[in-house]
Amino acid sequence: MSDVLILNGRVVDPASGIDEARDLLLRDGKIAALDKPGSLKNIEAAETIDASGLVVAPGLVDVHVHLREPGQTYKETIATGTAAAAAGGFTTVVAMPNTMPVNDSVAGLEWMLSPQRGAVVKLFAMPAATMGSMGATLTDFAALHKAGALGFTDDGKPILEDAIMREALIAAARLGVPISQHAEDTHLTGGCSMNAGPVAFRLGLRGMTIEAESRIVERDIRLLREIEKSEHLRPHLHVQHISTGRALEAIREAKRQGLHVTCEAAPHHFTLTDEAIGDYDTNAKMNPPLRAEADRQAVLAGLADGTVDCIATDHAPHAAHEKEQEFERAPNGITGLETALGLALRVLHRAQGLSLSKILSLMSTSPAAIVSLADRGSLAVGSIADVVVFDPAAQWNFAAKDSRSKSKNTPFDGASMLGRVHATVSEGRIVFRQ
Protein backbone atom coordinates (compact mmCIF):
# COMPACT_ATOMS: atom_id res chain seq x y z
CA MET A 1 0.00 0.00 0.00
CA SER A 2 1.32 3.48 -0.88
CA ASP A 3 2.46 6.01 1.70
CA VAL A 4 0.29 9.03 2.47
CA LEU A 5 1.69 12.15 4.13
CA ILE A 6 -0.48 14.69 5.94
CA LEU A 7 1.59 17.79 6.63
CA ASN A 8 1.28 21.09 8.48
CA GLY A 9 -2.00 20.31 10.24
CA ARG A 10 -3.25 20.83 13.80
CA VAL A 11 -3.51 17.29 15.11
CA VAL A 12 -6.31 16.79 17.63
CA ASP A 13 -6.27 13.26 19.02
CA PRO A 14 -8.45 12.92 22.14
CA ALA A 15 -7.16 9.40 22.83
CA SER A 16 -3.58 10.57 23.37
CA GLY A 17 -4.32 14.12 24.50
CA ILE A 18 -2.45 15.67 21.56
CA ASP A 19 -3.58 19.08 20.31
CA GLU A 20 -0.67 20.64 18.45
CA ALA A 21 0.99 20.91 15.05
CA ARG A 22 2.20 17.51 13.84
CA ASP A 23 2.96 15.74 10.56
CA LEU A 24 1.49 12.31 9.91
CA LEU A 25 2.78 9.37 7.87
CA LEU A 26 0.38 6.59 6.89
CA ARG A 27 1.96 3.35 5.68
CA ASP A 28 0.50 -0.08 4.99
CA GLY A 29 -2.86 1.03 6.37
CA LYS A 30 -1.45 2.05 9.75
CA ILE A 31 -0.30 5.24 11.44
CA ALA A 32 3.47 4.94 10.89
CA ALA A 33 4.67 8.25 12.33
CA LEU A 34 3.28 11.29 14.16
CA ASP A 35 6.12 13.79 14.41
CA LYS A 36 6.93 17.44 14.83
CA PRO A 37 6.36 19.61 11.74
CA GLY A 38 9.14 19.20 9.18
CA SER A 39 10.38 15.86 10.52
CA LEU A 40 8.89 13.88 7.60
CA LYS A 41 9.74 16.29 4.79
CA ASN A 42 12.27 13.97 3.13
CA ILE A 43 9.86 11.06 2.75
CA GLU A 44 8.56 10.51 -0.77
CA ALA A 45 4.90 9.55 -0.56
CA ALA A 46 2.45 8.63 -3.29
CA GLU A 47 -0.05 11.14 -1.87
CA THR A 48 0.47 14.28 0.18
CA ILE A 49 -2.27 16.30 1.87
CA ASP A 50 -1.36 19.85 2.83
CA ALA A 51 -3.37 20.41 6.01
CA SER A 52 -2.26 23.99 6.63
CA GLY A 53 -4.99 25.74 8.61
CA LEU A 54 -6.89 22.46 9.03
CA VAL A 55 -7.55 19.99 11.82
CA VAL A 56 -6.27 16.42 11.49
CA ALA A 57 -8.22 14.00 13.68
CA PRO A 58 -9.08 10.31 14.03
CA GLY A 59 -11.65 9.20 11.46
CA LEU A 60 -15.19 9.47 12.82
CA VAL A 61 -16.99 6.33 14.02
CA ASP A 62 -20.77 5.92 13.80
CA VAL A 63 -22.24 3.00 15.76
CA HIS A 64 -25.77 3.43 14.35
CA VAL A 65 -26.52 3.61 10.61
CA HIS A 66 -29.10 2.08 8.29
CA LEU A 67 -27.73 1.16 4.87
CA ARG A 68 -30.88 -0.60 3.56
CA GLU A 69 -29.02 -3.39 1.75
CA PRO A 70 -30.20 -6.05 1.23
CA GLY A 71 -33.81 -5.48 0.33
CA GLN A 72 -34.32 -1.73 -0.03
CA THR A 73 -31.61 -0.61 -2.40
CA TYR A 74 -33.88 1.99 -3.96
CA LYS A 75 -33.27 3.95 -0.73
CA GLU A 76 -29.59 3.25 -0.20
CA THR A 77 -26.88 0.71 -0.85
CA ILE A 78 -23.86 -0.13 1.20
CA ALA A 79 -21.76 1.61 -1.47
CA THR A 80 -23.77 4.85 -1.51
CA GLY A 81 -24.30 4.99 2.24
CA THR A 82 -20.62 4.54 2.97
CA ALA A 83 -19.77 7.13 0.28
CA ALA A 84 -21.93 9.56 2.23
CA ALA A 85 -20.08 8.49 5.37
CA ALA A 86 -16.73 9.28 3.76
CA ALA A 87 -17.98 12.72 2.69
CA GLY A 88 -18.99 13.36 6.30
CA GLY A 89 -15.60 12.34 7.70
CA PHE A 90 -16.63 8.89 8.92
CA THR A 91 -14.20 6.03 8.43
CA THR A 92 -16.12 3.36 10.35
CA VAL A 93 -19.85 2.69 10.44
CA VAL A 94 -21.92 0.00 12.16
CA ALA A 95 -24.98 -1.15 10.22
CA MET A 96 -28.25 -1.99 11.93
CA PRO A 97 -30.05 -5.25 11.14
CA ASN A 98 -33.43 -3.99 9.89
CA THR A 99 -32.76 -4.96 6.31
CA MET A 100 -34.95 -7.24 4.18
CA PRO A 101 -34.43 -9.96 5.20
CA VAL A 102 -33.40 -9.07 8.72
CA ASN A 103 -29.70 -9.61 9.35
CA ASP A 104 -30.07 -12.43 11.87
CA SER A 105 -27.81 -15.16 10.46
CA VAL A 106 -24.14 -15.79 9.82
CA ALA A 107 -24.85 -16.04 6.09
CA GLY A 108 -26.60 -12.69 6.11
CA LEU A 109 -23.84 -11.04 8.12
CA GLU A 110 -21.10 -12.42 5.89
CA TRP A 111 -23.00 -11.27 2.78
CA MET A 112 -23.30 -7.76 4.17
CA LEU A 113 -19.63 -7.52 5.13
CA SER A 114 -18.34 -9.00 1.87
CA PRO A 115 -15.99 -6.76 -0.18
CA GLN A 116 -18.39 -7.31 -3.09
CA ARG A 117 -20.84 -4.85 -1.45
CA GLY A 118 -18.39 -2.06 -2.28
CA ALA A 119 -18.16 -0.34 1.09
CA VAL A 120 -16.13 2.86 0.77
CA VAL A 121 -15.20 2.96 4.48
CA LYS A 122 -14.88 0.20 7.05
CA LEU A 123 -18.21 -1.50 7.60
CA PHE A 124 -19.17 -3.44 10.71
CA ALA A 125 -22.60 -4.67 11.74
CA MET A 126 -24.76 -5.46 14.72
CA PRO A 127 -27.04 -8.37 13.77
CA ALA A 128 -30.46 -8.83 15.28
CA ALA A 129 -30.66 -9.95 18.89
CA THR A 130 -33.73 -12.09 18.18
CA MET A 131 -34.76 -14.05 15.11
CA GLY A 132 -36.42 -11.70 12.65
CA SER A 133 -36.21 -8.99 15.34
CA MET A 134 -39.46 -10.44 16.64
CA GLY A 135 -38.40 -10.37 20.28
CA ALA A 136 -39.00 -14.07 20.95
CA THR A 137 -35.95 -16.25 20.25
CA LEU A 138 -32.32 -15.20 20.50
CA THR A 139 -30.13 -15.44 17.43
CA ASP A 140 -26.91 -17.50 17.59
CA PHE A 141 -24.78 -14.93 19.43
CA ALA A 142 -21.63 -17.06 19.54
CA ALA A 143 -21.64 -17.87 15.81
CA LEU A 144 -22.48 -14.29 14.82
CA HIS A 145 -19.78 -12.90 17.10
CA LYS A 146 -17.25 -15.24 15.55
CA ALA A 147 -18.35 -13.97 12.11
CA GLY A 148 -17.73 -10.35 13.12
CA ALA A 149 -20.77 -9.04 15.04
CA LEU A 150 -19.84 -6.12 17.30
CA GLY A 151 -22.98 -6.45 19.40
CA PHE A 152 -26.65 -7.23 19.04
CA THR A 153 -29.81 -5.18 18.62
CA ASP A 154 -33.35 -5.40 17.39
CA ASP A 155 -33.01 -1.68 16.65
CA GLY A 156 -36.42 -0.15 15.84
CA LYS A 157 -38.16 -3.12 17.48
CA PRO A 158 -37.26 -2.88 21.17
CA ILE A 159 -37.02 -6.06 23.18
CA LEU A 160 -40.03 -5.71 25.45
CA GLU A 161 -40.15 -9.04 27.29
CA ASP A 162 -38.10 -8.99 30.49
CA ALA A 163 -37.07 -12.62 30.15
CA ILE A 164 -35.81 -12.23 26.58
CA MET A 165 -33.93 -9.02 27.35
CA ARG A 166 -32.37 -10.66 30.39
CA GLU A 167 -31.33 -13.66 28.31
CA ALA A 168 -29.85 -11.36 25.64
CA LEU A 169 -27.87 -9.30 28.16
CA ILE A 170 -26.44 -12.47 29.73
CA ALA A 171 -25.49 -14.03 26.39
CA ALA A 172 -23.86 -10.81 25.19
CA ALA A 173 -22.01 -10.34 28.48
CA ARG A 174 -20.42 -13.77 28.10
CA LEU A 175 -19.02 -12.59 24.74
CA GLY A 176 -18.02 -9.14 26.00
CA VAL A 177 -20.26 -7.20 23.59
CA PRO A 178 -23.17 -4.79 24.14
CA ILE A 179 -26.89 -5.10 23.65
CA SER A 180 -27.93 -1.93 21.84
CA GLN A 181 -31.50 -1.06 22.68
CA HIS A 182 -34.01 1.24 20.96
CA ALA A 183 -35.78 2.36 24.12
CA GLU A 184 -39.47 2.58 23.34
CA ASP A 185 -42.34 0.98 25.18
CA THR A 186 -44.48 0.33 22.14
CA HIS A 187 -47.45 -0.38 24.39
CA LEU A 188 -47.54 3.41 24.87
CA THR A 189 -46.81 4.58 21.32
CA GLY A 190 -49.45 2.93 19.14
CA GLY A 191 -50.67 5.42 16.55
CA CYS A 192 -48.17 8.06 17.66
CA SER A 193 -46.17 9.93 15.05
CA MET A 194 -44.40 12.70 17.00
CA ASN A 195 -43.61 13.99 20.49
CA ALA A 196 -46.50 14.51 22.89
CA GLY A 197 -46.96 18.19 23.61
CA PRO A 198 -48.37 21.48 22.37
CA VAL A 199 -47.13 21.01 18.79
CA ALA A 200 -48.81 17.61 18.51
CA PHE A 201 -51.97 19.14 19.96
CA ARG A 202 -51.92 21.95 17.37
CA LEU A 203 -51.39 19.49 14.53
CA GLY A 204 -54.00 17.06 15.80
CA LEU A 205 -51.52 14.17 16.03
CA ARG A 206 -51.02 11.52 18.71
CA GLY A 207 -47.75 12.05 20.55
CA MET A 208 -45.17 9.79 22.19
CA THR A 209 -44.67 10.56 25.86
CA ILE A 210 -41.27 10.72 27.51
CA GLU A 211 -42.34 7.77 29.65
CA ALA A 212 -42.36 5.56 26.55
CA GLU A 213 -38.58 5.97 26.42
CA SER A 214 -37.74 6.16 30.11
CA ARG A 215 -39.73 3.06 31.10
CA ILE A 216 -37.59 0.82 28.90
CA VAL A 217 -34.35 2.47 30.01
CA GLU A 218 -35.33 2.06 33.66
CA ARG A 219 -36.38 -1.57 33.09
CA ASP A 220 -33.12 -2.40 31.32
CA ILE A 221 -31.05 -0.79 34.08
CA ARG A 222 -32.93 -2.87 36.62
CA LEU A 223 -32.05 -5.99 34.64
CA LEU A 224 -28.36 -5.00 34.62
CA ARG A 225 -28.42 -4.72 38.39
CA GLU A 226 -30.18 -8.06 38.83
CA ILE A 227 -27.82 -9.87 36.45
CA GLU A 228 -24.72 -8.50 38.15
CA LYS A 229 -26.06 -9.77 41.47
CA SER A 230 -27.33 -13.16 40.39
CA GLU A 231 -25.01 -14.15 37.54
CA HIS A 232 -21.82 -12.34 38.57
CA LEU A 233 -21.52 -11.00 35.03
CA ARG A 234 -21.12 -7.42 33.88
CA PRO A 235 -23.58 -6.92 30.99
CA HIS A 236 -23.21 -3.87 28.76
CA LEU A 237 -26.38 -1.99 27.82
CA HIS A 238 -26.05 0.64 25.10
CA VAL A 239 -29.07 2.95 24.77
CA GLN A 240 -29.63 4.25 21.27
CA HIS A 241 -30.47 7.87 20.35
CA ILE A 242 -31.43 9.08 23.82
CA SER A 243 -33.95 11.92 23.58
CA THR A 244 -35.45 12.71 26.98
CA GLY A 245 -34.20 14.22 30.19
CA ARG A 246 -35.95 11.57 32.26
CA ALA A 247 -34.17 8.67 30.54
CA LEU A 248 -30.88 10.54 30.75
CA GLU A 249 -31.30 10.96 34.50
CA ALA A 250 -31.82 7.21 34.86
CA ILE A 251 -28.61 6.58 32.90
CA ARG A 252 -26.73 9.19 34.92
CA GLU A 253 -27.73 7.44 38.15
CA ALA A 254 -26.85 4.00 36.73
CA LYS A 255 -23.38 5.24 35.89
CA ARG A 256 -23.01 6.59 39.43
CA GLN A 257 -23.82 3.10 40.67
CA GLY A 258 -21.11 1.62 38.46
CA LEU A 259 -23.34 -0.25 36.04
CA HIS A 260 -22.07 -0.75 32.49
CA VAL A 261 -24.47 1.44 30.55
CA THR A 262 -23.57 3.73 27.67
CA CYS A 263 -25.73 5.86 25.42
CA GLU A 264 -25.64 7.84 22.20
CA ALA A 265 -27.27 11.10 21.10
CA ALA A 266 -28.18 12.02 17.53
CA PRO A 267 -27.39 15.44 16.03
CA HIS A 268 -31.05 16.13 15.28
CA HIS A 269 -31.96 15.68 18.94
CA PHE A 270 -29.41 18.23 20.17
CA THR A 271 -30.15 20.66 17.32
CA LEU A 272 -33.93 20.71 16.75
CA THR A 273 -37.17 20.57 18.71
CA ASP A 274 -40.59 19.36 17.62
CA GLU A 275 -41.27 22.90 16.38
CA ALA A 276 -39.19 21.93 13.32
CA ILE A 277 -42.11 19.82 12.11
CA GLY A 278 -43.90 23.06 11.26
CA ASP A 279 -46.92 22.11 9.22
CA TYR A 280 -46.41 18.37 8.87
CA ASP A 281 -42.86 18.32 7.45
CA THR A 282 -42.17 14.58 7.14
CA ASN A 283 -38.44 15.28 6.81
CA ALA A 284 -38.55 16.13 10.51
CA LYS A 285 -40.22 12.85 11.43
CA MET A 286 -38.11 10.25 13.16
CA ASN A 287 -38.25 7.82 16.10
CA PRO A 288 -37.59 8.79 18.83
CA PRO A 289 -39.24 12.01 17.77
CA LEU A 290 -37.90 15.53 18.05
CA ARG A 291 -38.70 16.60 21.60
CA ALA A 292 -39.46 19.82 23.46
CA GLU A 293 -36.77 22.39 24.28
CA ALA A 294 -36.39 21.11 27.86
CA ASP A 295 -35.40 17.67 26.55
CA ARG A 296 -33.04 19.17 23.95
CA GLN A 297 -31.36 21.06 26.79
CA ALA A 298 -31.12 17.82 28.77
CA VAL A 299 -29.36 16.11 25.85
CA LEU A 300 -26.94 19.04 25.60
CA ALA A 301 -26.24 18.79 29.34
CA GLY A 302 -25.69 15.05 29.00
CA LEU A 303 -23.19 15.58 26.22
CA ALA A 304 -21.33 18.14 28.29
CA ASP A 305 -21.16 16.19 31.56
CA GLY A 306 -20.31 12.79 30.08
CA THR A 307 -23.65 11.06 30.62
CA VAL A 308 -23.91 10.76 26.84
CA ASP A 309 -20.99 8.67 25.62
CA CYS A 310 -21.07 9.25 21.89
CA ILE A 311 -22.77 10.91 18.93
CA ALA A 312 -24.45 8.61 16.40
CA THR A 313 -26.36 9.70 13.32
CA ASP A 314 -29.12 7.07 13.04
CA HIS A 315 -28.70 7.68 9.28
CA ALA A 316 -32.04 6.42 7.91
CA PRO A 317 -32.57 7.07 4.20
CA HIS A 318 -36.02 6.93 2.63
CA ALA A 319 -37.14 7.53 -0.94
CA ALA A 320 -38.92 10.79 -1.78
CA HIS A 321 -42.21 9.08 -2.58
CA GLU A 322 -42.23 7.48 0.87
CA LYS A 323 -41.84 10.81 2.66
CA GLU A 324 -44.23 12.68 0.36
CA GLN A 325 -47.44 11.47 1.97
CA GLU A 326 -49.55 12.19 5.05
CA PHE A 327 -47.42 12.78 8.14
CA GLU A 328 -48.84 9.83 10.04
CA ARG A 329 -48.20 7.46 7.12
CA ALA A 330 -44.66 8.61 6.27
CA PRO A 331 -41.81 6.44 7.58
CA ASN A 332 -39.58 7.55 10.46
CA GLY A 333 -36.01 8.59 9.85
CA ILE A 334 -33.66 11.09 8.24
CA THR A 335 -30.24 10.98 6.63
CA GLY A 336 -27.39 12.25 8.75
CA LEU A 337 -23.90 11.12 7.82
CA GLU A 338 -22.96 14.30 5.92
CA THR A 339 -24.38 16.79 8.44
CA ALA A 340 -23.24 15.33 11.77
CA LEU A 341 -19.85 17.03 12.04
CA GLY A 342 -21.14 20.40 10.79
CA LEU A 343 -23.99 20.36 13.32
CA ALA A 344 -21.79 19.16 16.18
CA LEU A 345 -19.33 21.99 15.59
CA ARG A 346 -22.06 24.58 15.12
CA VAL A 347 -24.22 23.59 18.08
CA LEU A 348 -21.83 21.97 20.55
CA HIS A 349 -18.58 23.81 19.85
CA ARG A 350 -19.60 27.32 18.83
CA ALA A 351 -22.93 27.69 20.68
CA GLN A 352 -22.31 25.47 23.74
CA GLY A 353 -18.57 25.90 24.12
CA LEU A 354 -17.56 22.23 24.11
CA SER A 355 -13.92 21.83 23.16
CA LEU A 356 -12.92 20.44 19.80
CA SER A 357 -11.23 17.54 21.58
CA LYS A 358 -14.43 16.70 23.48
CA ILE A 359 -16.52 16.68 20.31
CA LEU A 360 -14.00 14.54 18.45
CA SER A 361 -13.92 12.13 21.37
CA LEU A 362 -17.72 11.83 21.18
CA MET A 363 -17.44 11.08 17.45
CA SER A 364 -14.36 8.85 17.29
CA THR A 365 -12.57 7.65 20.42
CA SER A 366 -15.64 6.96 22.52
CA PRO A 367 -17.81 5.16 19.93
CA ALA A 368 -14.81 3.02 18.97
CA ALA A 369 -14.42 2.04 22.62
CA ILE A 370 -18.12 1.20 23.01
CA VAL A 371 -17.84 -1.50 20.35
CA SER A 372 -14.29 -2.51 21.40
CA LEU A 373 -12.44 -1.31 18.30
CA ALA A 374 -9.15 -0.81 20.13
CA ASP A 375 -7.14 0.04 17.02
CA ARG A 376 -9.52 2.74 15.75
CA GLY A 377 -10.53 6.14 17.08
CA SER A 378 -6.93 7.21 17.70
CA LEU A 379 -3.94 8.57 15.79
CA ALA A 380 -1.41 6.73 17.95
CA VAL A 381 1.40 5.08 16.02
CA GLY A 382 0.34 1.55 15.10
CA SER A 383 -3.38 2.37 14.95
CA ILE A 384 -5.44 1.81 11.82
CA ALA A 385 -4.85 4.76 9.45
CA ASP A 386 -8.33 6.27 9.74
CA VAL A 387 -8.09 10.05 9.49
CA VAL A 388 -10.35 13.02 8.84
CA VAL A 389 -8.97 16.41 7.76
CA PHE A 390 -11.35 19.33 8.12
CA ASP A 391 -11.53 23.10 8.30
CA PRO A 392 -13.07 23.89 11.72
CA ALA A 393 -13.85 27.50 10.77
CA ALA A 394 -15.53 26.90 7.40
CA GLN A 395 -19.15 28.04 7.28
CA TRP A 396 -21.33 26.57 4.58
CA ASN A 397 -24.85 25.44 3.84
CA PHE A 398 -25.77 21.80 3.32
CA ALA A 399 -27.53 21.04 0.03
CA ALA A 400 -29.41 17.76 0.02
CA LYS A 401 -29.25 17.56 -3.77
CA ASP A 402 -25.46 17.21 -3.53
CA SER A 403 -25.59 14.33 -1.05
CA ARG A 404 -23.77 11.06 -1.83
CA SER A 405 -26.69 9.22 -0.27
CA LYS A 406 -29.38 7.92 -2.59
CA SER A 407 -31.99 9.60 -0.40
CA LYS A 408 -32.44 13.28 0.43
CA ASN A 409 -34.79 13.09 3.43
CA THR A 410 -33.28 15.62 5.78
CA PRO A 411 -34.61 18.59 7.77
CA PHE A 412 -31.19 20.22 7.27
CA ASP A 413 -31.46 21.02 3.55
CA GLY A 414 -30.05 24.55 3.32
CA ALA A 415 -29.04 24.62 7.00
CA SER A 416 -25.83 26.34 8.06
CA MET A 417 -22.91 24.15 9.05
CA LEU A 418 -19.63 24.88 10.81
CA GLY A 419 -16.58 22.90 9.77
CA ARG A 420 -16.07 21.22 6.42
CA VAL A 421 -14.36 17.95 5.59
CA HIS A 422 -11.41 18.32 3.21
CA ALA A 423 -10.23 14.71 3.15
CA THR A 424 -11.15 11.34 4.63
CA VAL A 425 -8.64 8.49 4.79
CA SER A 426 -9.89 4.98 5.53
CA GLU A 427 -7.28 2.34 6.37
CA GLY A 428 -4.65 4.36 4.55
CA ARG A 429 -6.73 5.03 1.41
CA ILE A 430 -7.97 8.50 0.53
CA VAL A 431 -11.70 7.87 0.08
CA PHE A 432 -12.92 11.46 -0.04
CA ARG A 433 -11.25 14.70 -1.03
CA GLN A 434 -12.91 18.08 -1.36
Do the annotations mark residue 187 as ligand-binding?
A: no
φ/ψ (deg, to 5) at 123: -110, 125
Residues 12 and 14: their CA atoms lie apart, in Å, by 6
Do the annotations mark residue 341 as ligand-binding?
A: no
Do the annotations mark residue 66 as ligand-binding?
A: yes
Triad 366, 55, 338: Cα angle to 5°: 65
Do the annotations mark residue 155 as ligand-binding?
A: yes
Residues forming beta bridges with residue 123, ordered by sequence position = 93
- 279, 314, 386, 391: which one is catalytic? 314
Q: Residue 118 carries which side chain, given as an amino acid letter?
A: G
Residues forming beta bridges with residue 288, ordered by sequence position = none
Do the annotations mark residue 309 as ligand-binding?
A: no
> Are residues 430 and 26 in contact, defined by beta-carbon separation less than 8 angstroms?
no
Residues 116 and 123: their CA atoms lie apart, in Å, by 12
- Rounded to the nearest angstrom, the gap between the alpha carbon of residue 300 and the centroid of all alpha carbons in its chain is 16
> Are residues 364 and 379 in contact, defined by beta-carbon separation less than 8 angstroms?
no
Do the annotations mark residue 287 as ligand-binding?
A: yes
Do the annotations mark residue 68 as ligand-binding?
A: yes
314 is catalytic: yes
Sign of CA dihedral 166, 167, 170, 176: negative
Sign of CA dihedral 303, 173, 313, 391: positive
Q: What residues form the annotated binding site? A: 64, 66-68, 98, 155, 182, 241, 287, 314, 318
Q: What residues form the annotated binding site for Zn(2+)? A: 64, 66, 155, 182, 241, 314
Provide the annotated active-site residues: 314
Q: What residues form the annotated binding site for substrate? A: 66-68, 98, 287, 318
